[in-house]
Amino acid sequence: MRSLKFLAVLPFAVASAFAGWEYSLVTNGAYYVEHEVKTGDEHFSAPSGPYDGLEALTRLDAKYTIPTPLGDHWLLSGADVELWGSLELSPVTLRPMVEVDFTPVPFLVFGAGASIGSGWNVLGFEGLTKYDFETQDYENLTPFTHYFYDLWASATFQFDTGALIEGDWSHVVMVASYKLFYEAMTGVDDGEIWQWQESARKANGLQYSFTGVLGYQMPMTLNMVGLMLEMEGHLDKDDYGPVAQSFDGDFTTTAISALTSFKLSDKNSLTVLYTFERERSYSQLHDDEDQEPLLHVTGGEWSFYRVALSWKHKF
């Protein structure tokens, strides 16, 4: 689920690190809103129904922090390395993940990581499928003989005005993160289209994502309010093989979200997203999303996309 791992650490982004282990459980859920499909260039599509799907997953995180002070100056003395190990489980997928984050100064974080997982298909929910261009349908892949995997590197700038201005009400939080990642499915040729965790229209290839957050943090249960911008796409449209041009393979998906974060206790936090998203718009109307890889993309369609929640419990 895009962005929710990022969100789960936001309320604690400016907290001071300590040496040793930290364990947490993150549970994410999303409620998707149906919208009317339109054709043409840039436009907004209003909701046409109350429900278009659900998504849920939970992830157990283990983090080990190693202090690596680079000097006596306050900017350098808090440098550290964080080693992450995670196990993610959804109703249709299982995926372990590893990540290393290096924070040389309080406002910069460099990260790298990888994950690999497999999935299954049950009760109409599709965790692992491949697109058949002839039947215009996604076909089930055999669990644990095909694997989704990704590798990534990221750089994040984060700043809290509370570091310069004293007071409980002086915390304006700014975060900008750029991520370069490669994701693919084993046993699926380059140029083919596949689906992972109910997220369709994927293809093997190098991609990028940008996440920006502007928030105001407060010393109360409603801990943060803010806005989030997300952008994501393939670097090379040819990753989509025979439909690279018509499907606009390097299309940039954009999402703008209002966010609220609640500090329920010292160990529990809840973040809620209300998201508008820009996805591909097509030249003809259609009732089945499985037809979309063979349609001609003409622009972008904005819609109210989802309400998403991320609950984090620190042990």
Per-residue pLDDT tens over the stretch 77-116:
889 999 999 999 999 999 999 999 999 999 999 999 999 9
pLDDT at residue 190, as a whole number: 96
pLDDT of residue 7: 55
Is pLDDT of 221 > 70? yes
The CB density around residue 254, as the number of other CB atoms within 10 Å, is 17
Give tens-digit pLDDT for 176-193. 999 999 999 999 999 999
Residue 14 reports pLDDT greater than 80: no
The ranges assigned to domains in the chain are 4-314
Q: Kindly state the average pLDDT of the residues 291-295.
A: 95
Is residue 11 predicted with pLDDT exceeding 70? no
pLDDT of residue 205: 98
What DSSP element (H or E) covers 4?
helix 4-8
Summarize the confidence of residues 48-63 as an average pLDDT. Answer: 94
Rounded mean pLDDT of the chain?
93
User: Does the predicted model carry a pTM greater than 0.95?
Assistant: no
**% of the chain surpassing 90 pLDDT:** 86
Please tell me the predicted confidence (pLDDT) of residue 270.
97
Q: How many CB atoms lie within 10 A of CB 99?
A: 19
Q: 231-237 long-range CB contacts below 8 Å, 24 or more apart?
A: 231/255, 232/2, 232/207, 232/208, 233/207, 233/208, 234/203, 234/205, 234/206, 234/207, 235/205, 235/206, 235/207, 235/208, 236/205, 236/206
pLDDT tens per residue across span 277-289:
999 999 999 988 9
Write out the CATH class of domain 4-314: mainly beta
How many helices and strands, by DSSP H and E, does the chain display? Answer: 1, 19
Is pLDDT at 122 greater than 80 in this prediction? yes
Average pLDDT rounded to a whole number, residues 29-37: 94
230-248 pLDDT per residue, tens: 999 999 999 999 999 999 9
17 pLDDT higher than 80 = no
pLDDT over threshold 50, residue 9: no
Confidence of residue 71 (pLDDT cuts 50, 70, 90): confident
Residue 10 predicted with pLDDT over 60: no
